[in-house]
Structure 1
Amino acid sequence: MMHLVPAAAARAAVASRADRPATSIVHESPDARLVVFRLAPGQEVPPHRNASTVMLTVLEGAGVLSGADGDERACVTGDVVVYAPNETHAMRAIDEELLLLATITPRPGEVR
């Protein structure tokens, strides 16, 4: 058994540059990758795609999550948003810090 504390990992994550969100991989296996993000107010992860399903869980804070067609939804602690394989997605902190857990799982039949 492995015990992870994603919110603590997100708080401890270090950004590669001051203007970029902090990220850290907290678990990686052939069937799942868990990545935490810490976005300061005004920071964003620009629109991008992933070949796998992506589930974003808001660990702390509030912000905006974007999906296909540029639709945006406010998000708060406890929300979970699921993106289909190859669906464009983005995230943005507005007025407060935003801590997220991204659970990335391969598509059925796909091996990493």
Structure 2
Amino acid sequence: MGNSKPKQQSTAYLPSNSSMRQTNDNRERERDKRSKPATLSKEFQTIDFDTVETSVLRKYKRVYKIKTRSKNADREELVQAISRHFLNQTVKEADSVTCFLYAIRHRDSVMRLPLNV
């Protein structure tokens, strides 16, 4: 027992301070990703309603009962009102995916799922 050398700890399995910081930073980033809603790039967030025909804008206004200042609104007023309405819509991702998968699977049939749209 007198010949025993002091044990040296191997540093191979001990993380260094910098790697511990990286691990903590990665965990924080992952937590932030889960807590914050995903943001899409600008090209997926908006539609350019200036390129849509006036008849389509009027139909969109009629279907969604969008109020404008005048009954016979000009094109610019329609584009502004419809853009505002479109951007304020919320999308339920689970319902959208369900509807999409159902539509692909049953192309010729009518949708019979009870959705709370």
TM-score (norm 1): 0.25
**Whose strand proportion is higher, 1 or 2?**
1
Choose between structure 1 and 2: higher helix proportion.
Answer: 2
Work out which of the two has the higher radius of gyration on C-alpha atoms and give 1 or 2: 2
* TM-score under structure 2 length normalisation: 0.24
Higher RCO by CA contacts (8 Å cutoff, separation 6 or greater): 1
